[in-house]
């Protein structure tokens, strides 16, 4: 229990024996209320902390599960010898109806797929040994280009901010010079409003 270290003997018995606890004993009532309220509030905060992240954990858990399953399938397939890959590989598309779909959803599906003709590729056109290294190099090259573009965008942003700040400070200097010139010419009451 979170209030097990707080007991009557250690807290109030010594005060009663020495005579320091007298009167209406409001201290005892406040102490009991604090023990109860703080325990309830603390346990509610802990429960809220634990339950608050569950939606994020669920969303990322399903994605992580699918990712690990795909990685394991690809890893197992990559470990097969080439002659076994050629035997196991068969290009195709399997379309299954969803048994839980409503009648309207099934009719929509049928109207969308009635005019589709499935074309099967010939064995000569299929490349069973896809070059994963070139694809990986291409993706890495694109990631590098994206990173360089981000850096150049950040440079342009900082340049724009610096130019804006310098033009703002130059404008303030010009305003001060004009006001000083006007005051020197005899107009003594000139007010300024500048956004600094």
> Would you state the pLDDT for residue 94?
65
User: Which phi and psi angles does 24 have, rounded to 5°?
Assistant: -75, -10
Classify residue 124 by its DSSP letter. T
User: Which phi and psi angles does 114 have, rounded to 5°?
Assistant: -65, -40
C-alpha distances in Å from residue 38, one per residue of 3, 12, 28, 30, 35: 9, 19, 15, 12, 6
How many helical (H) and strand (E) elements, i.e. helices and strands, does the chain have? 7, 0
Structure tokens at 112: 């969308």
Average pLDDT, the chain: 76
> Would you state the pLDDT for residue 68?
92
Crossing angle (nearest 10°) for helices 26-52 and 54-79: 30
> Would you state the pLDDT for residue 69?
92
pLDDT in tens, 154-180: 888 888 888 877 777 788 888 888 888
Is residue 128 within 8 Å of residue 89, measured between CB atoms? yes
Instruction: Enter the pTM of the model.
Output: 0.26
Kindly give the residue spans of alpha helices, DSSP state H, lying in 12-126. Answer: 14-18, 26-52, 54-79, 82-88, 103-113
pLDDT in tens, 95-123: 666 677 778 877 887 777 777 766 655 55
> Would you state the pLDDT for residue 52?
77
Average pLDDT along the chain, 196 residues, taken 10 residues at a time? 66 71 69 84 85 80 88 87 79 67 78 69 55 81 89 85 80 82 67 49
């Amino acid at each position: 229990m979170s209030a097990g270290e707080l007991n009557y003997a250690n807290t109030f018995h010594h005060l009663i024996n020495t005579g320091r606890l007298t009167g209406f004993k409001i201290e005892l009532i406040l102490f009991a209320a604090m023990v109860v309220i703080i325990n309830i509030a603390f346990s509610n905060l802990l429960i809220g902390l634990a339950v608050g992240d569950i939606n994020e954990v669920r969303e990322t858990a399903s994605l992580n599960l699918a990712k690990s399953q795909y990685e394991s399938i690809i890893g197992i397939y990559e470990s097969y010898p080439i002659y076994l890959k050629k035997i196991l590989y068969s290009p195709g598309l399997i379309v299954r109806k969803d048994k839980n779909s409503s009648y309207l959803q099934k009719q929509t599906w049928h109207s969308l797929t009635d005019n589709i003709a499935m074309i099967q590729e010939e064995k000569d056109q299929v490349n069973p040994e896809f070059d994963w290294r070139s694809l990986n190099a291409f993706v890495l090259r694109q990631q590098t280009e994206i990173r360089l573009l981000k850096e150049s965008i950040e440079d342009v942003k900082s340049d724009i901010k610096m130019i804006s700040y310098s033009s703002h400070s130059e404008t303030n200097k010009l305003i001060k010079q004009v006001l000083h010139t006007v005051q020197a010419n005899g107009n003594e009451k000139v007010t300024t409003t500048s956004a600094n």
